[in-house]
């Protein structure tokens, strides 16, 4: 891993301005900051002002900083109060995790490194949620804004997605050692039952059960999955 991850979280007193709704994320929206500041400065600015402008994560050449929990919405897609209807067009602000890639204004080595960190981080998020690269959207997809401007102007959106897809593939070394192992069939059946119930309750996608059944679920996948299930069960209460 080339980046470090940390959280500098929006105080809940600011939720009404910057993250008013509970969200069950379905997409990841990619942005370029159109600025030359590092992630810490971008986040500090976003947290300190009182504008209805917000996003979940900023990525630079060294770190990924999360400012808003993924179960709250943020205002970064320019599609207004929008909708949580999966068929609506205006759902970026209500269903997507906003990722800002720093240093895009001038580009250069810092930007290149930031973009690569975003590729790796987004790949990790997709795996955690059991999603494919089809869940990754441009800001432009929601309201037409020319963003992420640098990726668009350099005509690299498709290659950006390909890099994410590539980063999602398990490395040769982790292919086998990290697979879930069970000491007996009873434990295995119990884990399968736990996953199936979460699928039945629509807390997670069915692809997770398929992954379990075809034996490709890793212990890392399962740990992430348990977190998602717990979080979503909490939200339902
Ligand atoms: Zn944007």
Show which of 123, 147, 168 is a domain's final residue. 168
- For 80-105, how does the pLDDT look when each residue is reduced to its tens digit (9 = 90+)? 887 777 777 779 999 999 999 999 99
CA of 146 to the centre of ligand 1 (A): 8
Together in a domain, 46 and 113: yes
Together in a domain, 118 and 178: no
Together in a domain, 185 and 162: no
Together in a domain, 51 and 71: yes
pTM: 0.76
Predicted local distance difference test score (pLDDT) of residue 98: 98
Position 234 confidence tier, pLDDT thresholds 50, 70, 90: confident
C-alpha separations of 103 from 65, 85, 119, 214 in Å: 15, 34, 15, 41
Together in a domain, 180 and 101: no
- For 165-205, how does the pLDDT look when each residue is reduced to its tens digit (9 = 90+)? 999 998 766 656 677 888 788 888 999 999 999 999 999 99
Predicted local distance difference test score (pLDDT) of residue 197: 95
Domain count, the chain: 2
Q: Which residues surround ligand 1, an ion (CB under 5 A)?
A: 31, 139, 147
Q: What is the domain range of residue 220?
A: 174-236
Residue 1 clears pLDDT 60, i.e. is over it? no
Together in a domain, 18 and 33: yes
Report the SS3 class of residue 196.
helix
CA of 221 to the centre of ligand 1 (A): 30
CA of 1 to the centre of ligand 1 (A): 26
List b or e across 69-84, with b for residues whose CB sees 16 or more CB atoms inside 10 angstroms: bbbbbbbbbbbeebbe
Residue 236 clears pLDDT 80, i.e. is over it? no
CA of 170 to the centre of ligand 1 (A): 30
Show which of 153, 168, 183 is a domain's final residue. 168
CA of 126 to the centre of ligand 1 (A): 20
Together in a domain, 156 and 221: no
CA of 232 to the centre of ligand 1 (A): 27
Show which of 168, 192, 219 is a domain's final residue. 168
DSSP 66-121: E-S-TTB--S-SS-TT----TT-S--HHHHEEEEEESSTTT-SHHHHHHHHHHHHH
Q: Which range, of 72-76, 174-178, 224-228, averages the lowest pLDDT? A: 174-178
Q: Which range, of 47-51, 53-57, 200-204, averages the lowest pLDDT? A: 200-204
């Amino acid at each position: 891993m080339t980046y470090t991850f940390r959280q500098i979280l929006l105080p809940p007193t600011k939720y009404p301005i910057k993250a008013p709704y509970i969200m069950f994320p379905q997409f990841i929206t990619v942005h370029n900051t159109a600025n030359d500041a590092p992630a810490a400065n971008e986040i500090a600015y976003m947290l300190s002002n009182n504008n209805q402008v917000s996003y979940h994560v900023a990525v630079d050449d060294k770190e990924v900083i999360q400012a808003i929990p993924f179960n709250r919405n943020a205002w970064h897609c320019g599609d207004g109060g929008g909708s949580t209807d999966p068929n609506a067009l205006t759902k970026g602000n209500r269903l997507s995790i906003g990722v800002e890639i720093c240093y895009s204004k001038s580009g250069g080595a810092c930007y290149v490194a930031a973009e690569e960190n975003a590729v790796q981080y987004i790949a990790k998020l997709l795996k955690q949620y059991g999603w494919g690269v089809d869940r990754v959207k441009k800001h432009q997809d929601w309201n037409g804004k020319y963003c992420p401007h640098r990726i668009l102007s350099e005509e690299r959106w498709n290659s950006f997605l390909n890099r994410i897809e590539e980063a999602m593939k398990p490395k040769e070394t982790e292919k086998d050692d990290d697979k879930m192992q069970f000491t007996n069939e009873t434990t295995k059946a119990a884990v399968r039952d736990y996953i199936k119930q979460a699928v039945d309750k629509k807390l997670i996608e069915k692809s997770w059960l398929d992954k379990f059944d075809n034996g490709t679920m890793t212990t890392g996948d399962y740990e992430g999955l348990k977190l998602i299930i717990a979080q979503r069960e909490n939200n339902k209460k």
